[in-house]
Amino acid sequence: MSLPRFSVRNIVPVNLVMIAVLIAGCFAAITIRRQFFPEVKPDGAIVRLYLPGASPEQLEDTMAIKVEDALAGMREVDEIRTN
């Protein structure tokens, strides 16, 4: 027996299945978890500092130490490496 023939001959079970599918869809639409910005926990970050024409010592004195001090004050930071 084909599906269209079954649907025409057995109207009540087909309508009950349709109502069950609609109720399940409404329930899923209401309870689904939606987030515009999902929660992300990054493992690390890289900060690159550029100062064209400066020596490594100047870059360390003017920028790197300040960035390290600012990052050291954050409790989420476990490790700081400077190259």
CA atoms within 13 A on the CB side of 39: 2
Which pLDDT value is given to residue 18? Answer: 95
Identify which has the larger pLDDT, 33 or 21. 21
Cβ neighbours of 4 (radius 10 Å): 8
For 34-71, what is each residue's pLDDT tens digit? 777 778 887 888 888 888 888 888 888 888 888 888 88
Which pLDDT value is given to residue 70? Answer: 87
Percent of all residues in the chain with a pLDDT value above 90, rounded to a whole number: 20
